[in-house]
Structure 1
Amino acid sequence: MAYQTLQQEYLQIPVVTRAYTTACVLTTAAVQLEIITPFQLYFNPDLILRNYQVMMKCMYRYCRMLEEGSFRGRTADFVFMFLFGGLLMTIFGTFVSLVFLGQAFTIMLVYVWSRRNPNVRMNFFGLLNFQAPFLPWVLMGFSLLLGNSIIVDLLGIAVGHVYFFLEDVFPNQPGGGRWLKTPSIIKMLFDTPEEDANYNPLPEERPGGFAWGEGQRLGG
């Protein structure tokens, strides 16, 4: 019975978030079980041991809220954001000699969500209150306290800002236009005309839900 409940909850996670979260968990498990070596994935075990829990929760939570919120019914556009962000991050990463970009990708997701939800109030470990757009910078400060390089976080913020600007800001400016267009092949592969009747989205206005932070909309 418990297995069926867990399976049902797992299948209710939107497809892109489910695939990405599963890949992250399986990859980490394979490294820890020494099925593959960290060097095969340019993986940093020390970074993961110190930062794994917070970043994994961030990745799952904000990836899911994006897919269920502003990308609801736009799976192809969400996949295209992954591809665009991953490509840009890889290009930028070569100039700063970064070989592990998973944390930067998570920060990118957080950045896009935070800019699209500017009125959400956040709480960090019950000590710090701020609005959502400051969340990536707070996470960068947390990373700095752990002794990690902030270059990874800055890369994620930079790529997230490029995507947000091209997708949300520039098209609404006088003389602006939409430069990011999801290729038709991706739309054909990922967009479906019908909604899943059993779909159970997480409310985008509740970005907390785990130990380090909670949020609520202003005036709510």
Structure 2
Amino acid sequence: MPVGLEAWFNQVPPVTRAWISLCVVLSLAVQCQLVTPLQLYFSFKAAFSNGQPWRIITTFLYFGPISLDFVFHLFFFMRYSRMLEDSNYAHKRAEYLWLLISSSFMLLLLSPLVTMPFLSSSLAFVPIYLWSRRHPDTQISLFGLVTITAPYLPLALVCFSWLLNGSWRAAAADLMGCAVGHVCWFTRDVWAREMSGANGFWNEAPEGLKRLLGDPL
């Protein structure tokens, strides 16, 4: 890895860096035919009845074959996940990881509604949505063509994904991620602000996870 690229990669916060690395490695493994997508997708029957629990994780790590859509989702996830982790979750690795874990759990429960075998793009939209709601006044130049404010970013990316794929299924997966992101934003920001004692198990990382990642209790 070139020195400049290695230095840049090391500046990416740890949770985002780990997720991006696993996504790239898994896509390369599929590209090299070391594994197949059929071994990675999620279904309740395969994961629980057939004893293949790894599917619970790999469904969030595979963005499909290396293509324009792969680059699109990975780039925007990395950009806004990094910005969210650097700003709102600086020195709170356990809190950010718990956000992704709890979001993943919600997506798994919702997955039968849209029959999506892979939930990576859905999960990628959770930090994008959360960042956009926490920085409502930020101006964003989208592809150098149009300038929008941050709250409109998720919808704009969903529309672009739809055009890129030419299928409503891609938009449905991204919209499901936005819906889960809205729940996370509401429970962590709005509900916690309006209701005293609202930070419970669902919103706050367990102490065991904090100890594991070296975060203050």
How far apart are the structure 2 equivalents of 1:24 and 1:67? 18
Q: Secondary structure at the match of 1:59?
A: helix
Greater length-normalized contact order (CA 8 Å, ≥ 6 residues apart): 1
2:210 counterpart of 1:151: no
Report Cα offsets for 1:28-76 as digits up to 9, x if no partner. 1111111111111126746x63411111101111111111110001111
CA contact (8 A) 2:63 2:120 kept: no
How far apart are the structure 2 equivalents of 1:172 and 1:111? 19
Equivalent residue for 1:92, pick from 110, 127, 144 = 110
After TM superposition, give the deviation of residue 191 of structure 1 in Å: 3.0
Count of aligned residue pairs for this structure pair? 191
How far apart are the structure 1 equivalents of 2:162 and 2:134? 25
Equivalent residue for 1:70, pick from 88, 93, 99 = 88
Q: Which runs of 5+ in 2 are unaligned?
A: 42-61
2:190 counterpart of 1:172: no
TM-score, length-scaled by structure 1:
0.80
Q: Secondary structure at the match of 1:155?
A: helix
2:125 counterpart of 1:102: no
CA contact (8 A) 1:170 1:176 kept: no
After TM superposition, give the deviation of residue 4 of structure 1 in Å: 4.0
CA contact (8 A) 2:94 2:215 kept: no
Identity between Structure 1 and Structure 2 (%)? 33
After TM superposition, give the deviation of residue 6 of structure 1 in Å: 3.4
Relative distance call for 1:117 and 1:94 in structure 2 (3 A) is same
CA contact (8 A) 1:170 1:177 kept: yes
Equivalent residue for 2:77, pick from 39, 55, 59 = 59
- Aligned counterpart, 1:124: 142
Letter in 1 for 2:181: G
- Aligned counterpart, 1:30: 29
Q: Which moved more, 1:143-152 or 1:37-46?
A: 37-46
Report Cα offsets for 1:161-217 as digits up to 9, x if no partner. 011100011011156722322111011111346xxxxxxxxxxxxxxxxxxxxxxxx
How far apart are the structure 2 equivalents of 1:85 and 1:8? 30
- Aligned counterpart, 1:181: 204
- Aligned counterpart, 2:130: 112
Letter in 1 for 2:176: L
Letter in 1 for 2:151: P
After TM superposition, give the deviation of residue 110 of structure 1 in Å: 0.5
Q: Normalized per residue, which structure has more helix?
A: 2
How far apart are the structure 2 equivalents of 1:186 and 1:68? 19
- Aligned counterpart, 2:13: 14
- Aligned counterpart, 1:216: none
RMSD over aligned Cα atoms: 1.9
CA contact (8 A) 1:73 1:191 kept: no
